[in-house]
Structure 1
Amino acid sequence: MGAVDWLRTTTPGLLVLCGLAIAVLLFAIIKVKLEPFIALLLTGLGLALAAGLPVSKIVGTAIKAGDSLLETGFGGILGHIAVIIGLGTVLGAILERSGGADVLTGKLLNLFGEKGAPFAMGLLGLIFGIPVFFDIGIFVLAPLIYVAAKRGGRSLVLYAMPMLAGLSMTHAFLPPHPGPVALGGLLGVSLGWLILMGFVCGLPGFVAAGLVWGSYIGKRIHVEVPDEFLVRKEDEQTAPDEGERVSDGSGGVATKTVTVTPPSVGLIGAIIAIPLVLILGATFGTQLLDKDSQLLQVLTFFGTPAVALLIAVLIAFYVLGVRRGSTVQELSELTAESLRPVGMLLLVVGAGAFFGKVISATGIGTALADTMSAAGLPVIVLAYIISCGLRIAQGSATVAIVTTGGIVAPLVASQNYSQMSIALIAMAIAAGSIILSHVNDGGFWIIAKYFNLTVKQTLQTWTVLETILSVVSFAVAAILFAIVS
């Protein structure tokens, strides 16, 4: 067997090939300073060619390219997040411009104090992360993180990491998120046990990764909040009123003071809660109602993230804009202004998804899973290692969870495990699915762009956070499994 065939057809060869591609990508971005969008695109195409994938599979043909890795890689992720990112960005902008983000953040800071602000952000991530997807939570909560960091005068990392840990923990370990729900069906364990064990295993990981690590690294990596991240400028935020010039009746001009009352915390909370409640209604409706139910159709329509966010944006436009004196033209200008930074974000995330798609198409994930399953390890350790390998190889937590669940399901079924033991195996799979988030993970690039991090800083902060969350949560699951099994 030649060297080329060895690289393309064997598990060690594929590992070497993918490892080299990732190393080249990191070198191009970190050392050469190449724009991540270009670097991801070039490296993805280079890896696909080196792995021997057919050109028609990589880029399609001159007549049809819709099924190619290039288009499905970009389109698959952007079809899901483009509308959500746009609407979430606009919602964040109107909340910020109205002063709502200041009010809510101020309430949290007053409640927990300046020293407790990172904890408040983590709690926010945990609560909001239960009903919404990870990326939606980032889009909705990021403006609050910006304002908290600006007001606190400390690193954006210190406030962002606890919130991200909360969102990541709920997304990986708790129903109604797709991964844990899929594990319930694949392994035959009730959602009630998954929710209970999700909290038991996930919360220690959240504390270690979000609060302990987030506090440690947030004091060592200082990241400022760029002005363009805050739609309202600092002088506008602190102005208690506005001056309106009017005629004084004698040909002169007087200044009429108009007091601008900030929106209430209750109103801001209600606007933020609208998409969460709608999405939660659709999620639990799917679990509780008959699939042909008319009510389920209504809940599904209004609970689709894009529709739910659109409703929230329209309500925010009215109660925080029109009703407070803003014109439709002013709101349109605000929308355009807030969406300007989104273009590069979408390109980077799409290119990252393409890179991950190419890695998956090389067959590295399947080869690695087959090798691990033949090693004869304890089932909970085996489940964790396979899930880790799939996560590192292809980037998607949900894909890692579903694939690993399918691999270990026959092993679990052959043993007389209790529901609690099966739920702990499911937690091990979930823990493995979030380890070592890096350049083939779309979430990696969302976090880098949303929180003004370089690639190196994202690896130092977010990647380590995910690994700590993974290892600690798995350790809790493994210890409990050893006790009850």
Structure 2
Amino acid sequence: MSTPALLGIAAVGIALLLILIIRFQVHAFIAMMLVSFLVALAAGLPIGDIIPTLISGMGGTLGSVAILVALGAMLGRVIEVSGGAGSMAQRFTQLLGPTRVPAALTAAALVLSIPVFFDVGFIILVPIIYGFCKAAKVDPVKFGLPVAGIMLAVHVVVPPHPGIVGGATVLQADIGWITLIGLAICVVLAVVSQYVSKFLNRKRYAMLPTTAAQFEAFDAGAAKAASGKLAAPGVGVVLTLILVPLLLIMLGTTGATLLPKGDPMRNALGFIGSPVFALMVAIGLAFWLIARQQGWSKERTNEVMESALPPAATVILVTGAGGVFAKVLTATGIGAALSQSITAAHLPLILAGFVISLALRAAQGSATVAILTTCGLLAQAVTAGGYSAVQVALLTVAIGFGGLGLSHVNDSGFWIVTRYLGLSVADGLRSWTVLTTVLGVAGFLMTAALWALVA
């Protein structure tokens, strides 16, 4: 099928998806499954391959998301019900003052997201975001939006995250230079994320009913603690439950970066640093440090854990459906057609890298896939260009920032952020999609400015 036809099918598919969800209020899971089927059929995917492709997209996404969302939700629920998140938020709000809390949270998120994948880190921080928002009497999107924005920025341009590391390998770029450049720009983007989020939050977004109910009941544990019925966990306990899994993951990523493949120590660190194992350790610590301290029975502990799953189930299913849609766009060749069209425009190399990566990100959802694909498309041009180590690093970072923008309905991160912050699809497009795009463009412009200095 011709490139214009494939691109037209993609445009109609995305438009139909938005109309179904926003105008006709069709559940996001149903809408994405239906549109995925129709796009696959219209793009000429063999009928015998359509259902296996849908299943593959769902399985590939849920394999990495379902366990993490479930474990992260359970950990957050234990911290919430015990009153730990609320008491921690009140303590730090008193110390910092309410006006400094958003900036402090964003700065902490920048540091914590360096060793941790975006979705894992955000899920771990959700109960803390809720707690601070409760203390400040604001909706979760007020503090959560800038936090999520900077965490995703770090994820796409700072090693050891997979997209940028894989891209550096393809382009033979220096990891050290990429780390220095990426971190320096992300520090500036943390400030940009704060101000852009504040602008986007000038109006109040109506929370989704399920999130509103969850947020309304969030400080029940803290209220009981305040009435003297329970002793809420201290700040040290809550920080331990958050930092231990992050430190374990950091060990794993450090080992993967510094040690050679096949090294027994690298394998051991990779095991204990896997997000699933790290969160299971945190759950075990929660049993010891909170359930035991609270005097919860086994039945009460199981009840608290199980109460985290119904809200998480919606996030998991919708995220999986986003993976289905992204898989269809890739399998039908729509993403490849888009990148080839942009390559044929003969843009300056650094601009072409950013634009192709941005287009692929919009077309198929995954920032990692967008970065790796773009690096593969431009590898020959980079090798033949005789660029310095700094220039190749800047090219790689520019491609990474392309993978940051235009997060929308085919991106699993879009659903994780919007569902936990209580944003509808329309409000998510007005806020989260705009924020990621502004951060991506701002990051690219700073990268291009550095390119001009060293060219």
TM-score range, shorter chain: over 0.9
**TM-score in terms of structure 2 length:** 0.95
Distance apart, 1:228 and its partner CA? 2.0
Counterpart pick for 2:199 among 209, 216, 219: 216
> Could you report, residue by residue, the CA deviation over 1:39-60 in whole angstroms, capped at 9, with x for unpaired residues?
111111011111111111111x
Counterpart pick for 1:186 among 149, 165, 170: 170
Counterpart pick for 2:117 among 130, 133, 138: 133
Distance apart, 1:447 and its partner CA? 1.5
- Partner of 2:101 in structure 1? 117
Counterpart pick for 1:240 among 218, 221, 226: 226
- Determine whether 1:16 maps to 2:8: yes
Secondary structure of 1:341's aligned partner:
helix
Contact 2:76–2:127 at 8 Å: present in 1 too?
yes
Contact 1:387–1:433 at 8 Å: present in 2 too?
yes
Q: Which 4+ stretches in 1 moved above 3 angstroms?
A: 222-225, 229-236
> Could you report, residue by residue, the CA deviation over 1:184-223 in whole angstroms, capped at 9, with x for unpaired residues?
2111122111111102333333322x21111112231244
- Partner of 1:157 in structure 2? 141
Secondary structure of 1:340's aligned partner:
helix
Mean Cα deviation higher: 155-164 or 196-205: 196-205
Counterpart pick for 1:84 among 44, 68, 71: 68
Distance apart, 1:291 and its partner CA? 2.4
What amino acid is the match of 1:171? H
- 1:111 and 1:236 mapped to 2: Cα distance? 18
Pairs aligned (count): 452
Contact 2:116–2:246 at 8 Å: present in 1 too?
yes
- 2:382 and 2:185 mapped to 1: Cα distance? 20
Counterpart pick for 2:39 among 27, 37, 47: 47
**TM-score in terms of structure 1 length:** 0.90
What amino acid is the match of 1:181? V
Contact 2:374–2:399 at 8 Å: present in 1 too?
yes
> Could you report, residue by residue, the CA deviation over 1:373-408 in whole angstroms, capped at 9, with x for unpaired residues?
232221101111111111111111000000001111
Distance apart, 1:433 and its partner CA? 0.7
Secondary structure of 2:204's aligned partner:
coil
Structure 1: runs of 5 or more not aligned = 1-8, 60-67, 244-259
Contact 1:155–1:219 at 8 Å: present in 2 too?
no
> Could you report, residue by residue, the CA deviation over 1:324-375 in whole angstroms, capped at 9, with x for unpaired residues?
3112211100001111212222111111110111111221221222232232
- 1:448 and 1:328 mapped to 2: Cα distance? 33
Contact 2:86–2:134 at 8 Å: present in 1 too?
no
- 2:79 and 2:222 mapped to 1: Cα distance? 14
| C-alpha RMSD over aligned residues | 1.7
Counterpart pick for 1:227 among 188, 210, 213: 213
- 2:219 and 2:138 mapped to 1: Cα distance? 18
> Could you report, residue by residue, the CA deviation over 1:292-344 in whole angstroms, capped at 9, with x for unpaired residues?
32222221111111111001101111111113311221110000111121222
Distance apart, 1:17 and its partner CA? 0.9
Matches within 5 A, 1:292-441: 292-441=262-411
Contact 2:366–2:411 at 8 Å: present in 1 too?
yes
Distance apart, 1:235 and its partner CA? 7.3
Which of 1 and 2 has higher RCO (CA within 8 Å, sep 6+)?
Answer: 2
Distance apart, 1:464 and its partner CA? 0.3
Contact 1:227–1:233 at 8 Å: present in 2 too?
no
Task: Give 1 or 2 for the bigger CA radius of gyration.
Answer: 1
Distance apart, 1:238 and its partner CA? 5.7
Contact 1:157–1:221 at 8 Å: present in 2 too?
no
Distance apart, 1:473 and its partner CA? 0.4
Residues 484 and 261 of structure 1: CA distance in aligned 2, closer, same or farther (over 3 Å): same
